[in-house]
């Protein structure tokens, strides 16, 4: 076996697996499985299967997930840069599938970076509802925001906040919560050798203390009758079954539901896990529920090690569900709310949907009104629809948010919503995330580039392109000159500006194609 597994880890696994230990250890002789998950915000599974340059094999527990063939390099293809799929480990797709997200749900992904599970949730929401994606690590939160933008998420808010602080602002608010908890990472040893180097015999106990606090905070934010999924990528019973047993003992209004696809996974361990809770007595009925948790073992499935538990609130609590509309009622069409540290007053909106509401931070009333006017003019001229939600102006940055900015006061906000662009010197400059979340029929000018022609790669590298005017598809009555939505094989990838046969490239420098 090439991997040098810690001796203490192997001893723990021998005790846990008993007669299955040899099969488990043999799994480390196999290469990790590679896979992608189709982004149905941009492309259907059927179309992706037709267009894919690689052979794809379905992942049994995820209808949008597929194993890729040996030698495939999906991260080096233009479709990756257009956000048509997310490169994700197969087992990591299971927790969101068990969460049962529906369009219109309010969902919290509490430990979300780098964003794989958040993008999976967003696809299930189909941009209808609300997604909070939170992570405490500043650098990882940047990657989280970028991935949500790349994959065309319109209804997402990104926070960098402690769970308890979010719970203080949004008690009993969310329909669904995912707690993909920080863990000792034992299930990723085969995929990431750095996890082996970071592991010590004390790692499980260290993470277990953190996991208990995170899960308790999450429970405060779930609506009565709502659903939580707790997951880790570790084998440690202290971080898995024992966490769930302790949680159920403290929260008797929750129970464990048998997960979908349970026939594909192993049951939770109980007989050899009871000793993990040495300091308290867990009733037998709790341990019977813990058996309904699921383990994804690398010697039993085609994927890495994972654990998950579906926690259902039975709805018997008298907790009052927070309806955000009660605290922040929607503004009337054409009106808004000017917000700063000292006062608030109304300002004229741009005449979007009836739920539009405008908040200004770090801007005077005059600056806010000018920014809004420029933005409103751009929207009316370039988009086929008024963006839903609340228009939020942070300085010169303009967002469409599922919530008004006042709902997020006091929290560390990385992205308050769909980033639309900047107001500069009385004009509006559209942002890249506006483009990536649009469909071709929604923008006034569209240019289609083909992967086969090589133009798509040239665009992704930031090159200026020669483009004849008759290739620019325009709304009736719209001239070809101006901002153009660039689509790669029919899916949006960014903006360009066309004039006199030349397409100026607006693809951000930090996002550009760097492969040979």
For the record, the structure tokens of 228 come out as 């939580």
DSSP H or E stretch at residue 78: helix 78-81
Do residues 350 and 379 lie in contact, with contact meaning Cβ atoms separated by under 8 Å? Answer: yes
- State phi, psi for 456 to the nearest 5 degrees: -60, -45
183 catalytically annotated: no
Q: Are 422 and 398 in contact (CB under 8 A)?
A: yes
Tokens 């005449």 correspond to what residue? 351
Picking from 257, 235, 243, 240, the residue whose alpha carbon sits closest to that of residue 313 is 257
Residue identified by tokens 């997020």 is 408
Write down the catalytic residue from 233, 273, 444, 491.
Answer: 233
By the 8 A CB rule, do 91 and 304 touch?
yes
Cβ neighbour number for residue 441 with a 10 Å cutoff: 11
Residue 448 buriedness (CB in 10 A; 0-12 / 13-18 / 19+): middle
**Could you give the CA distance from residue 127 to residue 155 in angstroms, rounded to a whole number?**
5
Cis peptide before 29 (omega within 30 of 0): no
* Token reading at 205: 């106990």
- Residue 429's nearest CA partner among 498, 327, 490, 506 is 506
**Beta partners for 453?**
none
Measured CA to CA, the distance from residue 424 to residue 431 in angstroms comes to 12
> Exposure of 388 by Cβ count < 10 A (0-12 exposed, 13-18 middle, 19+ buried)?
middle
**233 phi/psi in degrees, rounded to 5:** -115, 50
Which H/E stretch holds residue 86?
strand 85-87
Cβ-based burial of 453 (10 A; exposed 0-12, middle 13-18, buried ≥19): exposed
Instruction: Give me the helix-helix angle, 241-250 and 203-221, nearest 10°.
Output: 40
Residues with a known catalytic role: 233
């Amino acid at each position: 076996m090439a991997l040098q597994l810690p001796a203490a880890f192997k001893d723990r696994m021998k005790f846990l697996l008993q007669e299955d230990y040899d099969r488990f250890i043999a799994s480390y002789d196999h290469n990790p499985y590679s896979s992608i998950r189709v982004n149905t915000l941009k492309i259907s599974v059927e179309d992706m299967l037709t267009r894919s340059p690689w052979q794809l094999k379905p992942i049994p527990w995820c209808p949008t997930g597929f194993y890729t063939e040996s030698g495939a390099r999906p991260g080096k293809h233009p479709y990756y840069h257009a956000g048509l799929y997310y490169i994700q480990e197969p087992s990591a797709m299971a927790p969101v599938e068990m969460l049962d997200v529906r369009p219109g749900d309010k969902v919290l992904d509490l430990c979300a970076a780098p964003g794989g599970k958040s993008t999976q949730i967003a696809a299930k929401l189909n941009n209808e509802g609300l997604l909070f994606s939170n992570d405490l690590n500043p650098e990882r939160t940047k990657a989280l925001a970028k991935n949500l933008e790349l994959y065309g998420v319109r209804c997402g808010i990104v926070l960098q906040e402690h769970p308890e602080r979010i719970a203080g602002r949004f008690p009993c608010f969310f329909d669904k919560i995912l707690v993909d908890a920080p863990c000792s990472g034992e299930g990723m040893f085969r995929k990431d050798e750095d996890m082996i180097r970071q592991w010590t015999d004390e790692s499980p106990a260290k993470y277990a203390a953190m996991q208990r606090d995170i899960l308790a905070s999450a429970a405060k934010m779930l609506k009565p009758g709502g659903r939580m999924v707790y997951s880790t990528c570790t084998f440690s019973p202290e971080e898995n079954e024992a966490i769930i047993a302790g949680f159920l003992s403290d929260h008797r209004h929750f129970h464990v539901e048998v997960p979908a696809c349970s026939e594909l996974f192993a049951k939770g361990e109980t007989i050899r896990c009871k000793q993990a809770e040495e300091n308290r007595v867990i009733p037998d009925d709790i341990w019977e529920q813990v058996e309904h948790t699921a383990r994804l073992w690398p010697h039993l499935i085609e994927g890495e090690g994972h654990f998950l538990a579906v926690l259902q609130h039975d709805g018997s609590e008298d907790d009052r569900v927070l309806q955000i509309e009660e605290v922040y009622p929607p503004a009337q069409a054409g009106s808004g709310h000017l917000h700063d540290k000292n006062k608030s007053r109304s300002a004229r909106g741009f005449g979007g949907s009836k739920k539009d509401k405008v908040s200004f931070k770090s801007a005077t009333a005059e600056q806010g009104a000018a920014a809004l006017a420029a933005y409103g003019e751009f929207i009316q001229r370039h988009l086929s629809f008024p963006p839903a939600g609340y228009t939020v102006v942070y300085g010169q940055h303009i967002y469409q948010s599922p919530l008004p900015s006042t709902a997020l006061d006091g929290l560390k906000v990385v992205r308050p919503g769909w980033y639309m662009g900047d107001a500069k010197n009385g004009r509006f400059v559209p942002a890249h995330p506006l483009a990536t979340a649009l469909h071709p029929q929604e923008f006034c000018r569209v240019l289609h580039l083909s992967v086969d022609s090589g133009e798509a790669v040239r665009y992704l590298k930031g090159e200026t392109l020669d483009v004849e005017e008759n290739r620019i598809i325009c709304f009736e009555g719209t001239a070809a000159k101006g901002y153009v939505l660039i689509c790669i094989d029919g899916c949006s990838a960014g903006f360009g500006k066309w004039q006199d046969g030349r397409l100026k490239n607006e693809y951000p420098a930090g996002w550009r194609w760097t492969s040979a």
